[in-house]
Amino acid sequence: MKKLISFLALAFLSLSVFATETDGDGDKSNSQNKKGAQQVNMSGMELGLRLTDGWNAGIDFVYNLGGANRIHAGMTFGSGGVGLEGFYDWNFVVDQKIKFYVGPGVGLGLHDDFTLGIGGEGGVEYQFNAPITVGFDWRPMLNFFGNNGEGGSNTNFNAGNFGVNVRYRF
């Protein structure tokens, strides 16, 4: 429980500190826009692959909602099953081609046992001149499991779940 509270506090602090770096549309402050700096392309959709620290592979999908908001979803294969994750992200522009993002989400695991989790993600992405985005992210989850064999349920916190993703921008 202490890990969850620490994670939520860190996520809130990160949002508070970096939210001052953007306006409501996710762009940098007006003083930098007046300098003519090119902003990160917030294309409508992105589709690609994600490799995790457990050597699982999956499909990575992003749908930009406009402004600085997006839906980030994934389907991971490996570890004897399939995992589905969905996140609501806020984007923060760092440089012309670099942005980072944070957001809450949910996860569903279809393994030997059913898993449902809540968590978040944070990551950084680089957009090439070609319609390719490469990123690194972290998706910690508090997972709730089915029956533990003793009539109760198991709960665990997965602080791992680091990944590298490569997506095509449509």
Mean pLDDT rounded to a whole number for the chain: 78
Both structure tokens of 15: 């949002």
Q: Are strands 141-147 and 153-158 parallel, antiparallel or unpaired?
A: antiparallel
Both structure tokens of 121: 């993600």
Reported as a single tens digit per residue, the pLDDT across 106-158 is: 999 888 778 899 999 999 999 999 999 999 999 999 988 765 555 556 788 88
The domains of the chain, with CATH numbers, are 2-22+47-169 (2.40.160)
> CA-CA distance, 92 to 4, in Å (whole number)?
24
Residue 168: phi and psi, rounded to 5, are -95, 130
Reported as a single tens digit per residue, the pLDDT across 64-95 is: 998 899 999 999 998 788 999 999 999 999 99
Nearest CA to 17 out of 113, 114, 94, 111 is that of: 94
> CA-CA distance, 18 to 11, in Å (whole number)?
11
